Amino acid sequence: MTGEASLDRPAPLDRGLSPGQPASPAQPASLDQPVSQRTALPRAWLIGIFGGLFFGYVSLTAAIPVLPGFVRDRYHATDLLVGSAVTATALTALLIRPVAGSQADARGHRSVMQAGAALVLLGGLGYFLPIGLAGLLLNRLLLGVGEAALFTAGAVWTVSLAPHDRRAQLIGFYGISMWAGISTGTFLGAALRPAGYAAVWGLCAVAAAVSLALISSVPSPPHRPRTGKAAGLLLRPALTPGLALALAASGYAGLASFIVLHLQARGVHGGVVVLGCFSAAYAATRLFIGRLPDTYGPRPVATVCGLGEAAGLLIIAMAPNLPVAILGSVAMGVGFSLIHPSLALMVMNRTEGQQQGAALGAYTSFWDLGLAVWGPLTGLVAGAFGYRSVFLVCAACAVVASMMALAIPQTTATLGQGRS
């Protein structure tokens, strides 16, 4: 099936017809086709949504490596203001995600994702303006709104378009697109720093424009008005999975913040290698076995993965040398990789179709909340009890997250048709 991404088997998302093979019995995907009858997605749709997300995050993160120096050099700002400029986007993203999801339900996923990309573009152009430190902080807050709309609307759009037995897999691929954008953006931003701040701001604007163009390339069906009650900012189906995600996020926060210091305190060097192995295991798991939540159900996969994350953290806590620490990071990466898509699928299964955007937005906010809470908390634990205690505490949190996932009933709400 030329030009389409096949989703009716676990092999790559693109397949063609073998010589002599008759036309595929599966009908070409249509935006008006019920999800239950959809077996394939055109490759252009995936490029538009995933590529739009990728370039959006390139734009959002390219400024991160140079922003502290820019704020310090241009405005002679204090450390507090430097930190505020860097993290301002996280504040509005945390608050706006549920709103963005609700608006995606009401106005269409494509429209809200386009609006998010447009705000990111405006924020990229805003770096060029002589607006002072207060204006820069407001610009960063605006970028947080754009990020929330871009990611949340795109996530629920992906789920609404995906065949029912591929939703978790595509959520995983969607997350990989985001992390690839973050990695690429920070690398390119740092690489362009010698060329001057204007070069970095230009990259932010161009990447956002590409994002908007890719998202706009995906066709949109006639708008179907939302029915039912308006969604609140925090839907009940998102609460328990969201809390489990926030607990699981402790492991990532602890690893990113203290793995290098933890190993150095034990006379082991190469903490950056451990982080790299975690990232590789995380991405490989989603690429090669990302369909497990669809195949075996999200609850058992989330339960086992939480225990896998805990096991990896325990190994890291006790690691006497670099190979053992790498083993722990791989175990943690495999477990941590599928927790988010498994819990997200549980949220979608327990939410009425017309409220799934708001529910997914609320659920995703728990990731932001978890990182915001666990960043300082792991620092307090490290200061009071040592670096090893950070990983022990995070392992305990992962076990609790696993038990919470196990306790969530496997119910399925009435699925509404997604819209773009």
Q: Which pLDDT band holds residue 186 (cuts at 50, 70, 90)?
A: confident
Count Cβ atoms below 10 Å from residue 257 Cβ, excluding itself: 18
Which one-letter amino acid corresponds to residue 108?
Answer: G
The residue-averaged pLDDT of 33-56 equals 76
pLDDT above 70 coverage of the chain, percent: 84
Q: What is the Cα 232 distance to its own chain's centre?
A: 22
CA distances 107 to 27, 125, 183, 288, 411, Å, are: 28, 26, 31, 34, 27
* Region 369-380 average pLDDT: 87
- Mean pLDDT score, 189-215: 95
Q: Which of 32-41, 265-274, 391-400, 407-416 has the lowest mean pLDDT?
A: 32-41
**According to the model, what pLDDT value does residue 226 have?**
56
pLDDT in tens, 379-400: 899 999 999 999 999 999 999 9
Specify the higher pLDDT residue, 80 or 201: 201
Structural domains in the chain, CATH included, are 40-216 (1.20.1250.20), 236-407 (1.20.1250.20)
Does residue 14 surpass a pLDDT of 70?
no
- How many Å from the N-terminal Cα to the C-terminal Cα in the chain? 23
Q: Which amino acid is at 23?
A: A
**Who's near 120: CB < 8 A, 6+ residues apart?**
56, 59, 60, 143, 146, 147, 150, 208, 211
pLDDT of residue 416 exceeding 50, the answer is no
pLDDT tens track for 280-335:
899 899 989 988 998 999 999 999 999 999 999 999 999 999 999 999 999 999 99
What tens digit of pLDDT does each residue of 127-179 get? 999 999 999 999 999 999 999 999 999 988 888 887 877 888 888 889 889 98
Whole-structure pTM value: 0.76
Structure tokens at 43: 């490759």
Category of 419 on φ-ψ map: left (φ > 0), alpha (ψ -120 to 50) or beta: beta
State what percent of residues in the chain have pLDDT above 90: 49
